Amino acid sequence: MPTNPPSPAVRVSTGLFDTVNDDNPGGGSSAPGFAPGQKGACVTVDANGPINVSLSTNRYEGEFQYVQTLSTDTTLPVLGTLAFWSDRANYIVSTAVSTAGVENVAGVFLGQYPQPGKYGFIKTIKGGGRTLVSFSGSTPAAGEIALAQSGSNIATRVAAGTDIKGYNVGVIQGAKTVGECAVVALHGLSNQV
């Protein structure tokens, strides 16, 4: 099992973090895949480097982690929805907060991949940086706190200075910019369980 250190040697089979949907670790049509040891590996990208994300409005610095989505998930990943740890030891995330609990938020899905049972990248919260986060059904504003909430993979929000009853994802940077998503500055290591 990898120790998931940040590594520039992670294989991105499609060349873009948000389009990877590998059947086996690192890609390939048969087990063990082209890079069986990279499950859980992290890649940190700063604002000065190339950020390989197909959606130009979501090219932000931060940490990307190679994970597997739970094969039994019935809700598909969508841009900006939260990913929750289903099995931390094996780097398996779920789209369902009920699988592991709100305190086990792992990161943010970059789009529709990875599909259930497949491998791909999420943006980690612990790595800081910024990313698009979904606030479907609510109207976020700059300076509010983004939270993971019980019963949903959509973030909720509270005004700064409010007693936080949830898992802090980061600080909202402004109004929605892409569909139901707004840019959030992820909090980094300070609030990671």
Lowest mean pLDDT among 48-57, 113-122, 182-191: 182-191
Asked whether the predicted pLDDT for residue 188 surpasses 90, the reply is no
Confidence of residue 101 (pLDDT cuts 50, 70, 90): confident
Report pLDDT for 18: 94
Pairing mode, if any, of strands 62-69 and 92-94? parallel
Report pLDDT for 190: 47
Which pair of structure tokens corresponds to residue 34?
């082209």
Q: pLDDT tens digits for 129-142?
A: 999 999 988 889 99
Number of neighbours of residue 175 by Cβ within 10 angstroms = 12
Contact 172, 141 (CB under 8 A): yes
DSSP-derived 3-state class of residue 26: coil
Asked whether the predicted pLDDT for residue 8 surpasses 70, the reply is no
DSSP secondary structure code for residue 17 in this structure: G
Asked whether the predicted pLDDT for residue 81 surpasses 80, the reply is yes
Q: What whole-number distance in Å separates Cα of residue 89 and Cα of residue 49?
A: 30
6 beta partners: 42
User: Per-domain residue ranges for the chain?
Assistant: 17-191
Asked whether the predicted pLDDT for residue 54 surpasses 70, the reply is yes
Which pair of structure tokens corresponds to residue 62?
């931060």
Asked whether the predicted pLDDT for residue 79 surpasses 50, the reply is yes
108 beta partners: 82, 123
